[in-house]
A = this chain, B = another copy of it.
Amino acid sequence: MPKWVTSRQILATARYRPDPPRIATPAAGPPPKDNVTRRPTPPMIIDCHGHYTTAPEAHQLFRKAQLAHFAKPSGAAPAPSAIGDDQIRESVEGNQLRLIRERGADMTLFSPRASAMAHHEGDERVSQSWTRACNDLIKRVVDLFPENFAGVCQLPQSPGAPIANSVAELRRCVLELGFVGCNLNPDPSGGHWTAAPLTDRSWYPFYEAMVELDVPAMIHVSSSCNPNFHATGAHYINADTTAFMQFIEGDLFKDFPSLRFVIPHGGGAVPYHWGRYRGLADMLKRPPLVRHVMKNVWFDTCVYHQPGIDLLFEVIAIDNILFGSEMVGAVRGIDPETGHYFDDTKRYVDALDLSAEDQLKVFELNARRVYPRLDKALKAAGR
């Protein structure tokens, strides 16, 4: 069981309630103070990384029909499948929701299944239609379980399509559906890496919209059509590492000081090679990473064993870590060494025996800072 509360710890953390929601330099400097006395309860557990991997089969059948129509067009393009509320309830209650309750989480940032985004399949029109259906389904999950899920959207990216074309769907999801973030694919080609680096100006129209809407992006590739890269075993981790190195090389956060990215899967290889990255920044005459990158980048805790989590918390500042599990995702089995699910990452974080203050940051406050629209919605609901 987590050791949340001693009265002294509660007193010590009372001042760490984030307000205002808009943040200039989120990870730097002391956290904002306010006069709100924090309630003497455990932190809200916010899982920043959940995908709807268990969507009803009918949804995937639509995708199949859509791609079949693209390959051999005849008649009108297929429409999204009709899916009943009961089907959605069932798909979530026996899976994510059950696990969330068993593992003791409160709120999951929920986005369409990452491997199914498959921006490299079909064309931009197909991607638009698929993305819209995926995001609409997330909205229905959120509406059915508003206390447990907040929406994060997929984008209608497509190889060669300008990222500006994804802004409308971002706006729709944030402004009309109430979503709090998005997943940005740095490689819509699915393992051929034909797009420009994330620091290239071609991405700027999208960053401008992110800043205006005050939403972060999780950098998340999809499946790989390059046989060299297993999706969850190589492509995901490589993309995380690649994005971080692009940020070191570039000067993106000078142009967008309030842009915020979550690099999932514990930051790819970065924390393990933190010395290499500090040294490379130095060799490339970049400022130290804490100033150059880490005011705008957060890592999640999707690292599926204790020594990895230990390392993450040893080298990365607590203000830059968001709790995440990607549960019912890449690795679904039970670790024979522990007898627990590999992706039950809360166990690993609990085992760190963090101070109450640090627990509060990792499980709740950092997420509220990175996702101010989530913070606002939670506050509006009195949470």
Interface residues of A (CB under 8 A from B): 186-187, 191-193, 195-197, 226-230, 232-234, 237-238, 241-242, 245-246, 248-249, 265-266, 268-269, 271-280, 282-283, 303-308, 310-311, 314-315, 330-333, 335, 337, 342-343
CB distance from A230 to the nearest CB of B (A): 5
Report whether B335 and A278 are in contact in the complex, using a CB–CB cutoff of 8 Å.
yes
Q: What would be 29 A-B contacts, judged by CB atoms less than 8 Å apart? A: A186-B228, A191-B193, A193-B193, A193-B226, A193-B229, A196-B228, A197-B227, A229-B242, A229-B245, A230-B245, A230-B246, A230-B249, A232-B280, A233-B245, A233-B277, A233-B280, A237-B276, A266-B272, A271-B272, A272-B303, A273-B303, A273-B304, A275-B303, A276-B304, A279-B330, A279-B335, A279-B343, A305-B315, A310-B311
Chain B residue nearest in CB terms to A277: B233
CB distance from A297 to the nearest CB of B (A): 15
Report whether A280 and B229 are in contact in the complex, using a CB–CB cutoff of 8 Å.
no
A242-B228 contact in complex given A233-B248, A279-B333, A279-B335, C-beta closer than 8 Å: yes
A315 vs B230: C-alpha distance in the bound complex, in angstroms?
A: 22
Q: Which of B275, B278, B310, B342 contacts A276 (CB 8 A)?
A: B342
Most buried by B among A241, A249, A273, A304: A273
A303 vs B279: C-alpha distance in the bound complex, in angstroms?
A: 11
Chain B residue nearest in CB terms to A272: B272
Copies of the chain in the assembly: 2
A246-B269 contact in complex given A233-B277, A305-B274, A307-B274, C-beta closer than 8 Å: no
A197-B228, A269-B272 given; 13 more Cβ-contact pairs under 8 Å: A186-B228, A193-B226, A195-B228, A197-B227, A230-B248, A233-B248, A233-B276, A233-B277, A269-B269, A272-B308, A275-B303, A278-B335, A283-B331
A335-B275 contact in complex given A268-B269, A311-B311, C-beta closer than 8 Å: yes
A234-B230 contact in complex given A268-B269, A269-B268, A276-B331, C-beta closer than 8 Å: no
Residues of B within 8 A of A196 (CB): 227-228
A237 vs B274: C-alpha distance in the bound complex, in angstroms?
A: 12
Most buried by B among A305, A306, A343: A305
CB distance from A243 to the nearest CB of B (A): 9
Report whether B331 and A279 are in contact in the complex, using a CB–CB cutoff of 8 Å.
yes
Most buried by B among A192, A241, A283, A332: A241
Residues of B within 8 A of A187 (CB): 228
Report whether A237 and B269 are in contact in the complex, using a CB–CB cutoff of 8 Å.
yes
CB distance from A200 to the nearest CB of B (A): 8
CB distance from A383 to the nearest CB of B (A): 32
Residues of B within 8 A of A308 (CB): 272-275, 311
A273 vs B233: C-alpha distance in the bound complex, in angstroms?
A: 9
Chain B residue nearest in CB terms to A274: B305
Report whether B333 and A273 are in contact in the complex, using a CB–CB cutoff of 8 Å.
no
A273 vs B331: C-alpha distance in the bound complex, in angstroms?
A: 11
Chain B residue nearest in CB terms to A229: B242
Residues of B within 8 A of A278 (CB): 305, 335, 337, 342
Residues of B within 8 A of A229 (CB): 193, 242, 245
Chain B residue nearest in CB terms to A288: B336
Residues of B within 8 A of A245 (CB): 229-230, 233-234
A114 vs B228: C-alpha distance in the bound complex, in angstroms?
A: 21
Residues of B within 8 A of A274 (CB): 305, 307-308
Report whether A311 and B307 are in contact in the complex, using a CB–CB cutoff of 8 Å.
yes
CB distance from A49 to the nearest CB of B (A): 14
Residues of B within 8 A of A335 (CB): 275, 278-279
Report whether B233 and A272 are in contact in the complex, using a CB–CB cutoff of 8 Å.
no
Closest 10 CB pairs of A and B: A275-B305, A275-B304, A269-B269, A279-B331, A272-B272, A233-B245, A238-B238, A279-B342, A234-B245, A234-B242
